[in-house]
Amino acid sequence: MNQLAPADPLCPLDDSAHPQPERAVDSPVDYEYEDPAYRVFIDSLSYLPPEDIEVVRAAYRFGDEAHQGQKRLSGEPYITHPLAVAGALAEWRMDAQAIVAALLHDVMEDTAVGKAQITQRFGKPVADLVDGLSKLDKIESQSYQEAQAENFRKMLMAMARDLRIVLIKLADRRHNLQTMAPLRPDKRRRIARETLEIYAPVANRLGLNNIFRQLQDLSFEHIYPTRFRVLSKAVKAVRGNHRELLSKILDGIHEKLAEVHIEAGVFGREKSLYSIYRKMAEKHLSFSQVLDIYGFRIVVKDIDTCYITLGALHSRFKPVPGKFKDYIAIPKVNGYQSLHSTLIGPYGTPIEIQIRTQAMHHLAEEGIASHWLYKDSEESGANLQNKMHTWLQSLLELQSVIGNSSEFLEHVKVDLYSDEVYVFTPKGKILALPHGATVIDFAYAVHTDIGHRCVAARIDHELIPLSAELTNGDQVEIITAPYANPNPAWLGYVKTSRARSRIRQFLRGVQMDGASSLGEKMLHQELQALGVKPEEVPAAVWERVIHESGGKNRRDLYSNVGMRRSLAAVVAHRLADYREAPQHPAKAAEPLLIRGTEGMAIQLASCCQPIPGDPIIGLLRKDQGLRIHTHACPEVRKSRSTEPQNWIHVEWEPDPGQLFDVRIKVTARNVLGMLGRIAIRLAELGVNIDYVNKDRKEPGLLTDIHFLIQVSGRAHLASLMRSLRHITDVVRIMREQESS
């Protein structure tokens, strides 16, 4: 049975408190004069047209009636919570639809009101916003972590449709943290940790700096209340002790700016308690060793003045080498722009300064909310919204190829926590990527086709491997080949959700193709054993079996068989059920013919590296496709008796028409030029060497040289081994396998 979890942790859900659907939602009570908080809220909506304010009044009455009888653990009426959330949105000057959705954001979870009622009363856009904010029905078998991951996944999907959802959600989370005192300590810590791990990084990614800092400090207070109190007291003490020093620095900045005729607003800035604590923890510092608790923010009229101001202050206070960052020329991923520099102030005290324009300041503090809040930030806010939509779309693509919500959440955290590196295309375009991003991430950031076809890369004109991590200022050139394809190993070192989703999507398509081909062969083999020809099975029977397997067409059915989600024998018997008696005499199934590595569904086992001519057998496991082993492989000896149902009879096609990897070991005397002579002979035989490794031995003694080469089959291997034996000083040649 599904049950709804209360949206607000301070309001335990009580079915007896639910309002009945037939109750009127228009209340005769004059809210205007009964509740001071409501009056303040309505007064804050003066920027909206009168008709919109009336809609908000109606939404408040509707929500109050719906939550009638519900109270928070503090004893307050439940409506105080949605009212506070809506008030936060009014501070951002959000539109009426968003404010109405904030007032109603819990009614679908905690009351009997459904989406249809909200749609009828306030319109579909509002109903969609409320629905996007509502949690999923919690299945009893889900763990708390699984339920939270799934809820976050749903919220991201809703955010991709409408960014107002995340603003409501973050305001909701902030108010819950501000009013969590009545909750049990363990529950407070759990909610606070979830906020630090997910919601605060989301706020940071969206450029919502004010709410980002508030979420961090509130979470810190609930997780480590004693540390919070001690650190808060220490910061207050420093604030008093350093008042004279800070005043001296402020006077020096004002004097220098006046000297060069620059009009600017200068503000002191105190680090948040959580950022101080995190710096102490990460760098193992005591509080007295954290010197940059205070900084200064300088707001000027335009970009040119930002750089003039920087030069003026560098002439007054000496800059610290390596402590300058230009986020104006190269903005952060979340749109943040400022000049950052650390200067040496009076008594050797380091001072951090930030220089920006008014529009940059608005965007830095309120992020995507500045689009609604400030006219001077409309253009930059709209650009940030476009960037955020692009990011959210990449997450949607990732979730479409990752079925597990917990795994999806872990991948999203990589995007949220990473600092950025800034790299250049050959044409000078700047790309911002997460710290630790590789050449593969860069290729997919340029274009999906570039990522799919990349085979090598150059950084500053020097060839580097695709797994190389990028650093600030790298100029990256991708080398492509028309027939190259993504490698599954890339998933082990890509960082961005965009690259990961594109690679997974491609590999899933390749896997489907290979699995479909393999499944078709396996199913036809089983039908043959039953004396049934596939073309004789009526179309209606095919449709029924496909539907029962959960597929849409024969390709889906074949893929399920190829990936062993459905057993070939079981499917074959269902298809053969159309007849009363066998129309053809049953006979032993013929072996499955393979050419080698066919897509991702058929792979040659790396432990024994079978080649044409070797007796082979196939191991079929669910979701892994078919792995081909030699009969002599230790893996076959170990598991054939324990899982006989997973092994199937396979044989090589007469002419596979491709080359196969094989390892050989050449034992020879360690004399000058020995390796070169062997390599030349292999080249003369037209054999490609993929890898070579030579054991270290004293000159004149026997040494082993290990080769990974490509051959067409067992006969080809025997021929080249005979040729190598004729080389002087070669003592022994043998084929190698991985140790079991």
For β-strands 616-621 and 647-652, DSSP reports them as: antiparallel
Say how far apart CA 596 and CA 604 lie, in whole Å: 7
Helix H, strand E, coil C: the string for 269-301 is EECCHHHHHHHHHHHCCCHHHCCCCEEEEEEEC
Give me Rg for the CA atoms of the chain: 34
The backbone torsions φ and ψ at residue 343, rounded to the nearest 5 degrees and listed phi first, read -115, 160
**Residue 60 and residue 105: Cα distance in Å, rounded?**
11
Chain center to CA of 465: 24
> What is the b/e burial string over 581-595, where b = at least 16 CB atoms within 10 angstroms of the residue's CB?
eeeeeeeebeebebe
Closest to 737 measured CA to CA, from 580, 591, 551, 611? 611
CB 359 within 8 A of CB 380: yes
Measured between alpha carbons, how far is 379 from 357 in angstroms, rounded to an integer? Answer: 14
78-93 burial by CB neighbour count: b if 16+ within 10 A, else e? bbbbbbbbbbbbbebb
Catalytic residues: 109-110
| DSSP class of 136 | P
What is the CA 319 to chain-centroid distance, rounded? 38
Give the burial class of 714: count Cβ atoms within 10 A of its Cβ; 0-12 exposed, 13-18 middle, 19 or more buried: middle
Residue pointed to by tokens 């919204």: 385
CA-CA distance, 657 to 591, in Å (whole number)?
Answer: 19
Q: Point out which residues pair with 629 in neighbouring strands.
A: 617
- Cβ burial 115-138 (10 Å sphere, 16+ → b, else e): eebbbebbeebbbbbbbbbbbbeb
Beta strand 602-604 with 625-630: parallel, antiparallel or unpaired? parallel
**Cα 580 from Cα 532, distance rounded (Å):** 12
User: Which helix (H) or strand (E) covers residue 145, if one does?
Assistant: helix 144-161
Instruction: Write the CA distances from 452 to 449, 494, 505, integer angstroms.
Output: 5, 13, 11
Dihedral of alpha carbons 519, 520, 526, 530, sign: positive
How far apart, in whole angstroms, are the C-alpha atoms of residue 364 and residue 211?
Answer: 11
Q: Tell me the backbone φ, ψ of residue 324, rounded to 5 degrees.
A: -120, 135
- Alpha-carbon distance of 370 to 94, in angstroms, equals 10
Contacts of 451 (CB under 8 A, 6+ apart): 440, 443, 444, 486, 499, 502, 503
Alpha carbon of residue 687 to chain centroid: 43
Enter the tokens of residue 681.
């002979």
Tokens of 398: 């990732």
Strand partners, 494: none
CA–CA dist 125, 603 (Å, integer): 50
